Structure 1
Amino acid sequence: MKPSVHKTLVMQLRTGATDRFPVLARLNYDARDPYAVTVVFSHDGRVLARWRLDREMLRTGLRRPVGAGDVRFRPVSAGRWEELRMEFFGDARPDGGCRHAVVFARASAVESFLSRTHDMVAPGRERPYVDDFLAEVFAES
């Protein structure tokens, strides 16, 4: 059995300075990889991007700005509710810039998902499944 937690959310992808459009985001936590959360963004049945995020960084981003480099999170107020702003920097573009996306999620929905992951593996109690990893490595040989 593979212990995992999944949640599908509607998030908002920012386009331009202020425009947003909805995208589906499937969050997945697998206790065999206890430090990570995988998120797959899709729209109209097409996968737009897949990111593997640090679970602790995601939790911290709900409270204060965190991250440098490719992934950054920070809380923002959206009037009636709080949001998590997620900023992703990707591969270089032909014009010399880099691909960049900003996605907003309801903070309460992300917090709910993280709470379920913490029920499975409490923060500070993570341990990698080394035996499973080694079995996969030797199986590929």
Structure 2
Amino acid sequence: MDATVSCELDLRLILSSESSLPVRASLRYDTADPYAVRAVFYNGAEDTVEWVFAREVLTVGLHLPAGIGDVQIWPCRSRGLDVVCIALTSEEGEALLHAPARVLEAFLNRTEAVVPPGTEHGHLCLDEELSHLLAES
């Protein structure tokens, strides 16, 4: 049976060392895709941007620099608070976001209660995944 864990949180889009903007985001973890966390960033009245992160990269990024390429995550402090920096790069541009570390950690703890790390493979249905991949070809 599939289960989901979700979380709404407020991020800061860092524009410069003195300037940032609030960004609302939602995180969703679904046992049907046990290695991934989907993030939706709300950047306007109805505009959204969606990214998919490896859950492991988010978990490691709470304590150590993690990720390569278009997603990099690391812990830091901002204005006296523990935050997680999330750097995103795409063809459209780059963004640096600050997420509250305690909110992100609580979300990841809830995902680990549903699917403990190292047991993700037991939640995959290989026949369904193969059928899905073949249908896309």
CA deviation vs aligned residue, 1:17-61 (integer Å, no higher than 9, x gap): 431111111101011111100101003333342110010010100
Structure 2: runs of 5+ lacking an equivalent: none
TM-score relative to the length of structure 2:
0.88
1:1-141 aligned at under 5 Å gives the runs 2-91=2-91, 99-127=93-121, 128-137=124-133
Displacement after TM superposition at 1:67 (Å): 1.7
Structure 1: runs of 5+ lacking an equivalent: 93-98
- Structure with the largest fraction of strand: 1
d(CA) in 1 for partners of 2:60, 2:88: 16
Q: Is the 8 A contact 2:43 2:49 kept in 1?
A: no
Displacement after TM superposition at 1:135 (Å): 4.7
TM-score relative to the length of structure 1:
0.85
Displacement after TM superposition at 1:136 (Å): 3.8
d(CA) in 2 for partners of 1:30, 1:110: 16
Q: CA RMSD in A?
A: 1.9
Q: Is the 8 A contact 2:65 2:72 kept in 1?
A: yes
Which residue identity lines up with residue 101 of structure 2 in the other structure? A
d(CA) in 2 for partners of 1:66, 1:130: 28
Distance 1:10 1:133, change over 3 A: same
Q: Is the 8 A contact 1:5 1:30 kept in 2?
A: yes
d(CA) in 2 for partners of 1:45, 1:107: 26
- Partner secondary structure for residue 66 of structure 1: coil
Displacement after TM superposition at 1:115 (Å): 0.5
Q: Is the 8 A contact 1:40 1:47 kept in 2?
A: no
d(CA) in 2 for partners of 1:89, 1:44: 19
d(CA) in 1 for partners of 2:90, 2:133: 28
